[in-house]
């Protein structure tokens, strides 16, 4: 089936005259459905990667629960703006939340949010603050949705202990014969593992609660309005039970990096303290009243953990022969891993300074 034919399976309004590739996630494929009828919205058609998301019906059920819950909250403050401030699922013509094509691919359609801005990175603290405030507001809206109301989409997704076990497995198998190139990185993982298990241990002890968390809070997953005010949190696929440190940590990882996620010049990769402070300030301005003191103290560890965990994940995929992330060239996962390790190192070198920032904002 062509994407045009797939687009026709959904109960969209108006007349769709063009379906074109959209955006650049590492996992799903997205298409913008352009409406020729001016009074009707555009849509976003997405193929959900069922190799990564093994239970798409469960994922879509989570998406329905969370969008219903969040929309009900937004309706109180912004009754006329709900569809710009929260994703809306468009059902198929027979009322399902997704369409499975004859080849076994899963598709869904969301309402396209018009007139938005999106930032893959920024050096502007005001944008950092707004993005964090928007993610924090999302955390707050989900505060009264018990964690067990949503299913686990990817087991152990942000479980650092399990990621270390997975790395050991990949080292042992060395299927792509690449282990010899990454000895230095493997040693570094070992030296930092104790510190990086802090969040895991707090969770195991029950010192920080499971919440409904987003789990992919990179800054490009916030849409802004044209005045650069936070509008909507997107990419809700990884929503599942998790710790608040995930949503703080991935924001810090993507936002404070002065280089690229896959920068091959490690001198460019540092953790920007001003952006860290802006992000922490926005996040805590939203969440200050709902987080416990232990959760607030744990945020810093989340900020250091996420570059490290992402580096380990890229390293695993490099050792496994690039089976998970889309890569542009054979060394891509290694370059990514090295950049994320550099970010971890730089963040850790600023530990005391970052700790004071969180303490003062808490
Ligand atoms: C993947 O596809 P994308 O870019 O939204 C990954 C995240 C990583 C991110 C790294 C399901 O997200 O966990 O942090 O790449 N998503 C999944 O850029 O593994
Ligand atoms: Mg994502």
Residue 212 pairs with which residues in a beta bridge? Answer: 241
**CA-to-CA dists, residue 344 to 157, 173, 278, 347, angstroms:** 19, 26, 19, 5
- Which of 335, 339, 278 is CA-nearest to residue 308? 339
Q: Write out the residues surrounding ion ligand 2, Cβ under 5 A.
A: 216, 235
At 195-204, the pLDDT tens digits run: 999 999 999 9
The DSSP secondary-structure symbol of 237 reads T
Give the Cα separation of 26 and 348 in Å (integer).
Answer: 27
Which of ligand 1's atoms lies nearest the C-alpha of 53?
Answer: 11
Residue nearest to atom 15 of ligand 1 (CA): 26
Side-chain half-sphere CA neighbours of 142 within 13 A? 30
CB 149 within 8 A of CB 65: yes
Q: Mind listing the pLDDT tens digit for each residue in 87-103? A: 999 999 999 999 999 99
Q: Is 329 left (phi over 0), alpha (psi -120 to 50) or beta?
A: beta
Alpha carbon of 339 to those of 60, 220, 297, 310, 318: distances in Å?
33, 19, 26, 10, 14
**What element of type H or E holds 273?**
helix 273-287
Whether residue 52 contacts residue 324, with contact meaning beta carbons closer than 8 Å, is answered with yes
Expressed in angstroms and rounded, the spacing between residue 288 Cα and the centre of ligand 1 is 27
- pLDDT tens string 7-32: 999 999 999 999 999 987 778 999 99
Closest ligand 1 atom to the C-alpha of 253?
Answer: 14
Domains of the chain: 3-111 (3.30.200.20), 125-361 (3.90.1200.10)
pTM: 0.95
DSSP class of residue 33? E
- Distance in Å, CA 40 to ligand 1 centroid: 31
Percent of the chain topping pLDDT 90: 98
- The ligand whose atoms approach the alpha carbon of 236 most closely is 2
Q: What is the pLDDT averaged over residues 164-190?
A: 98
Q: What is the pLDDT of residue 25?
A: 74
């Amino acid at each position: 089936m062509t994407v045009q034919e797939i687009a026709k399976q959904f109960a969209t309004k108006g007349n769709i005259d063009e379906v074109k590739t959209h955006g650049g996630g590492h996992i799903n494929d997205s298409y913008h459905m352009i409406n020729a009828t001016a009074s009707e919205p555009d849509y976003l058609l997405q193929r959900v990667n069922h190799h990564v998301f093994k239970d798409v019906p469960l994922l879509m059920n989570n998406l329905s629960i969370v969008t219903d819950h969040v929309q009900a909250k937004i309706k109180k403050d912004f009754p006329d703006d709900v569809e710009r401030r929260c994703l809306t699922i468009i059902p198929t013509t027979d009322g399902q939340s997704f369409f499975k094509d004859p080849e076994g691919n899963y598709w869904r359609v969301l309402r396209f949010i018009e007139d938005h801005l999106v930032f893959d990175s920024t050096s502007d603290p005001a944008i950092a603050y707004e993005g964090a405030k928007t993610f924090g507001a999302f955390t707050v809206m989900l505060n009264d949705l018990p964690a067990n109301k949503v299913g686990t989409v990817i087991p152990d997704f942000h479980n650092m202990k399990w990621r270390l076990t997975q790395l050991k497995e990949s080292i042992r198998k060395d299927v792509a014969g690449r282990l010899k190139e990454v000895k230095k990185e493997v040693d570094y993982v070992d030296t930092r593992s104790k510190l990086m298990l802090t969040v895991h241990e707090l969770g195991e002890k029950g010192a920080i609660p499971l919440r409904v968390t987003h789990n992919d809070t990179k800054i490009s997953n916030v849409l802004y309005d044209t005045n650069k005010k936070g509008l909507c949190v997107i990419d809700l696929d990884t929503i599942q039970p998790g710790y608040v440190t995930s949503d703080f940590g991935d924001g810090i990882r993507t936002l404070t990096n002065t280089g690229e996620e896959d920068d091959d010049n490690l001198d460019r990769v540092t953790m920007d303290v001003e952006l860290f402070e802006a992000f922490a300030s926005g996040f805590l301005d939203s969440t200050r009243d709902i987080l416990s003191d232990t959760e607030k103290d744990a945020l810093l560890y989340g900020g250091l953990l996420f570059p490290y965990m992402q580096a380990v994940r890229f390293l695993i995929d490099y050792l496994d022969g690039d089976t998970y992330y889309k890569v542009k060239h054979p060394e891509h996962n290694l370059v990514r891993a090295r950049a994320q390790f550099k970010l971890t190192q730089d963040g850790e070198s600023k530990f005391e300074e970052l700790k004071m920032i969180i303490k003062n904002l808490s």
